[in-house]
Structure 1
Amino acid sequence: MTAVPPTELTTEQDDLASEFDLSDPKFITDPKAGERWLGGPQPVCRGKFADGSDIWVVTGYHDVKTVLGEPTLRSSPPGDSHRESMLSRGIPEDIVDMFDATLLTMDGEDHMRVRRLVTRALSARRMLALTPAVERVAAHLLDGLADRAEPDLIADYAHPLAIIVICELLGVDEEYREQWREWSETLAQALRPNPEQFAPAVRGMARVTRQLIAARRAEPRDDLISELVQIHEEDSDRLTDDELTALAMVLVQAGHETVRNLVALGAFTLLQHPDQLELLRKDSSLGSRAAAELVRRTAPVKHTFRRFVTEPLEIGGVQVQPGEAIQVVLAAANRDPEVFEEPERLDITREQNAHLGFGRGAHYCLGASLALIEGEVALTALFHRFPDLALAVDPQEIEPRFLLPMQCLPVRLFPESEMR
């Protein structure tokens, strides 16, 4: 890579450091924070990570695409700063060691080895074969909603659908699913974890996962854990037990959280765009385009994990030096007006939609196809079953915060006249 002279930061770029401060609780809870991430005046700005360390925040589509595809970037920081960052936030050392064995923190040959084995198990055939299971789960949950006048679409639909489907894929027994759901909610706060809750959740999930692996080794079934165990036993590049445990935990967490957010944000957004919702109601064949457009517009995954520079790299006219960290904002990239026509407009018929909602390159989301299937099925079935569904509260009361998942989504299933 050709080095370029360092670019002097403008005063505006320096001032923006406080605008992108993940270590400031006010930034996490500020309802206007997302607007600054999505519409910052510079495609590359200074910022702060959750531990207070410096990061470069990248928001422009082409710059984000460059970062995601840059082979010299690493998920693990130089030295022990990754461990130090987690330990400084009160995460016990044994928990840090577990996270060091995941695809999210692996690089180079180890990452490619594990990813190749997982990709083999997460085949397109397996994902497509799950469609009837997703339809069955959605129908069952919708049957349960019909008995309630004003259910919470997150607690009663998006959340259980996401955890049930990912648990069915992996082969998590039904008796553990409610516990997995609670653990997943805790792990979703990884950016600002509460150590007293976070550590027991990780240890509990790891313990049950190891029990599950042992059970499937003794008695295989038609599930993903069994297939990964078989690969573990037969492949010369086999997964270690720690890698297999960490992998299962990451798949549950990522698969659950992304789908939960997509269904919740998708339903809320469609209710705010009745013209687009009417299109979907009239033509269910638009479901796949609608799911892709909702990924672009609502960003169930807002940003990636940090990546660390190993060689001098120019991004957006800024020279980033080895050892410095970069964080890309997928949500901002997907609203770049240079790439998307009328990016703020929700258009479920949009044909040109090369969104980056699931990342790109070596760390592209392995479960992207399943997430889209779940989003399409869940939302199409919801609005087909309840054509008069509407918000039960003023939208401003539950307006999503950019960096926090929606907490509740109360709705009315039937017209108010029928509820009296």
Structure 2
Amino acid sequence: MKWGVLPTFPGTGEDGVVRAPTLEELAPEGHDLAADPHSVHAALRAGGPVHRVHVPGSGDAWLVVTREAVRAALTDPRLRNDIRHSATWETDGGHAVGRNMLQSDPPHHTRLRRLVAGHFTPGRIAGLRPGIERVARELLARLPRPGTADLVSGYALPLPVTVICDLLGVPEADRAAFHTWSNELVMPTGAEAAAASAAALTDYLTELIAEKARTPDGSLLADLTTAAGPPGAGNGLTPEELLGMAFLLLVAGHETTVDLISATAHSLLTHPDQLALLRADPTLTGGAIEESLRFNSPVHAGAFRFAAEPLELAGTRVDAGDAVLVSLAAASRDPLAFPDPDRFDITRRPQGHLAFGHGAHHCLGAPLARAEATVALRLLLERHPTLTLATDPASLTWRTSTLLRGLTALPVHLG
């Protein structure tokens, strides 16, 4: 199959029902979709902004792949985040942990977001920067110098885990187990494992919340447990909302940043001309982070949205109850918005990538993610100015799910 020419697909599922093709089925035989989803996205964009695809475990959905159509979908009030608008919804399948902002729509979403927004302003995040730098320096000091190390497990992972757990008040002894549960939920290895992790994380967070209520410690989670006022009055959370808020802040607060830090290092190490530019001019660090967000979006796609009523999206009819999946990764490589989009260029002028989403659900933690990634990259290159990749880039493994994409490991020579 040539790129830009999509096949017809008379496929059926295990139950014999005709379904749309998966992205894997649209790719050429032998193509590694996890390593390179962008070629498939480009082929889809060539055929139009919206396509019917099958998402394993979730069913058929409308996949949106151009920047203009993605922005339109993310701001269309007829597309809702609450799964109860789905035509196929029956239960949450045992995978939901409370009710959180990502699963909510205005005005409910607005109230929940307002309760925590003040903790993630640029000013608040600036106050966290010395702590982020301290954690980064401690982690770098543990790496061999010189020597070889995995940059994911040794640096990109523990940095954001430590920062968000410190902020929320998760005890250090519990953090490894917390990350294991979290990783299974965002990158599930199977339905049973995901359900078990959801149950374990629910039990853990329920007990942690109760502990913070009994003994407030100044953490963000403790502040949320003591918020005064009845739910719906502008402050206060129901027990289910508090559980969902804790889950979302802890999981979203580190999973994507792990992938951002490691993907940025990977892009620089596989584009030596850009790494040389950054080494010569460290003021380009912010630009490198923004280009990495565009070039390898850690959030592969936004959360599913569901049509609350029939609508037309970029010329495609969407029926009430249909699922819509917006591809942030495809939108951020749209050639109509980003000239030469498959070129990694840290001097590229910001042009509005969609790595953090758009509209009411624009990522609340974007300032924190940017701060962590900027600190991580700057201090890494300061301590290891001759950093190089320790393996063939083609041998690297990318973990992927419907929503996220990132490296499983990144072996490097520290120099």
Structure 2: where are the runs of 5+ without partners?
A: 11-19
What's 1:20 paired with?
Answer: 23
**Distance in 2 of aligned mates of 1:33 and 1:331:** 9
Equivalent residues in 2 for 1:58-207 (5 A)?
Answer: 58-78=64-84, 83-84=89-90, 86-87=92-93, 92=94, 95-96=95-96, 98-99=97-98, 101-147=99-145, 149-190=147-188, 193-207=189-203
Structure 1: where are the runs of 5+ without partners?
A: 1-10, 415-420
Amino acid at match of 1:177: R
1:220 paired to 2:216: yes
For normalisation by structure 2, the TM-score amounts to 0.86
8 Å contact kept, 2:85–2:321: no
Q: How large is the Cα RMSD of the aligned pairs?
A: 2.7
Following TM superposition, by how much is the alpha carbon of 1:74 offset from its aligned partner in structure 2, in angstroms? 0.7
For normalisation by structure 1, the TM-score amounts to 0.85
Residues 26-35 or 215-224, more deviating:
26-35
1:412 paired to 2:413: yes
8 Å contact kept, 2:311–2:318: yes
1:43 paired to 2:49: yes
**Distance in 1 of aligned mates of 2:301 and 2:86:** 23
**Distance in 1 of aligned mates of 2:25 and 2:253:** 24
Amino acid at match of 1:68: L
Kindly provide the CA deviation profile for residues 70-106 of structure 1, in whole angstroms up to 9, marking residues without a partner as x.
112111245675654753xxxx3xx44x35x122211
**Distance in 1 of aligned mates of 2:25 and 2:205:** 31
8 Å contact kept, 1:72–1:309: yes
Q: 2:205 aligns with which of 193, 198, 209?
A: 209
Kindly provide the CA deviation profile for residues 136-184 of structure 1, in whole angstroms up to 9, marking residues without a partner as x.
1111110011357211111111111121111011111212112212222
What's 2:13 paired with?
Answer: none
Amino acid at match of 1:242: E
Following TM superposition, by how much is the alpha carbon of 1:372 offset from its aligned partner in structure 2, in angstroms? 0.8
Kindly provide the CA deviation profile for residues 223-243 of structure 1, in whole angstroms up to 9, marking residues without a partner as x.
211222233558733111221
DSSP 3-state at the match of 2:51: strand
Q: 2:320 aligns with which of 319, 322, 330?
A: 322
Relative to structure 1, the CA distance from residue 308 to residue 265 in structure 2 (aligned partners, 3 Å threshold; closer, same or farther) is same
What's 1:4 paired with?
Answer: none
Percent of residue pairs identical: 36
DSSP 3-state at the match of 1:151: strand
DSSP 3-state at the match of 2:406: coil
Following TM superposition, by how much is the alpha carbon of 1:341 offset from its aligned partner in structure 2, in angstroms? 2.0
Relative to structure 1, the CA distance from residue 60 to residue 79 in structure 2 (aligned partners, 3 Å threshold; closer, same or farther) is closer
8 Å contact kept, 1:38–1:331: no
Relative to structure 1, the CA distance from residue 19 to residue 341 in structure 2 (aligned partners, 3 Å threshold; closer, same or farther) is same
8 Å contact kept, 1:61–1:333: yes
Amino acid at match of 2:224: L
Amino acid at match of 2:100: T
Amino acid at match of 1:292: E
DSSP 3-state at the match of 1:48: strand
Following TM superposition, by how much is the alpha carbon of 1:39 offset from its aligned partner in structure 2, in angstroms? 4.0
8 Å contact kept, 2:87–2:322: no
Amino acid at match of 2:355: G
**Distance in 1 of aligned mates of 2:83 and 2:7:** 24
Kindly provide the CA deviation profile for residues 43-93 of structure 1, in whole angstroms up to 9, marking residues without a partner as x.
211101223522111100000000011112111245675654753xxxx3x
Relative to structure 1, the CA distance from residue 29 to residue 356 in structure 2 (aligned partners, 3 Å threshold; closer, same or farther) is closer
What's 1:274 paired with?
Answer: 272
Following TM superposition, by how much is the alpha carbon of 1:318 offset from its aligned partner in structure 2, in angstroms? 1.4
Following TM superposition, by how much is the alpha carbon of 1:400 offset from its aligned partner in structure 2, in angstroms? 3.5
**Distance in 2 of aligned mates of 1:391 and 1:352:** 27
Q: 1:294 aligns with which of 292, 295, 316?
A: 292
DSSP 3-state at the match of 1:47: strand
Relative to structure 1, the CA distance from residue 219 to residue 371 in structure 2 (aligned partners, 3 Å threshold; closer, same or farther) is same
Following TM superposition, by how much is the alpha carbon of 1:37 offset from its aligned partner in structure 2, in angstroms? 2.4
Equivalent residues in 2 for 1:212-361 (5 A)?
Answer: 212-232=208-228, 236-237=233-234, 238-361=236-359
Amino acid at match of 1:361: G
8 Å contact kept, 1:183–1:202: yes
Relative to structure 1, the CA distance from residue 349 to residue 29 in structure 2 (aligned partners, 3 Å threshold; closer, same or farther) is closer
Following TM superposition, by how much is the alpha carbon of 1:279 offset from its aligned partner in structure 2, in angstroms? 2.0
Higher relative helix content:
1
8 Å contact kept, 1:187–1:253: no
DSSP 3-state at the match of 1:358: coil
Amino acid at match of 2:213: R
DSSP 3-state at the match of 2:254: helix
Amino acid at match of 2:56: A
Amino acid at match of 2:62: W
Relative to structure 1, the CA distance from residue 266 to residue 55 in structure 2 (aligned partners, 3 Å threshold; closer, same or farther) is same
Relative to structure 1, the CA distance from residue 53 to residue 204 in structure 2 (aligned partners, 3 Å threshold; closer, same or farther) is closer
8 Å contact kept, 2:153–2:409: yes
**Distance in 2 of aligned mates of 1:23 and 1:85:** 30
Residues 199-208 or 162-171, more deviating:
199-208
DSSP 3-state at the match of 2:68: helix
Relative to structure 1, the CA distance from residue 12 to residue 255 in structure 2 (aligned partners, 3 Å threshold; closer, same or farther) is same
Residues 113-122 or 134-143, more deviating:
113-122
DSSP 3-state at the match of 1:327: strand
**Distance in 1 of aligned mates of 2:362 and 2:210:** 29
Amino acid at match of 1:410: P
Following TM superposition, by how much is the alpha carbon of 1:303 offset from its aligned partner in structure 2, in angstroms? 0.4
**Distance in 2 of aligned mates of 1:80 and 1:313:** 14
How many residues of Structure 1 are paired with residues of Structure 2 in the alignment?
393
Following TM superposition, by how much is the alpha carbon of 1:363 offset from its aligned partner in structure 2, in angstroms? 1.2
Residues 313-322 or 297-306, more deviating:
313-322
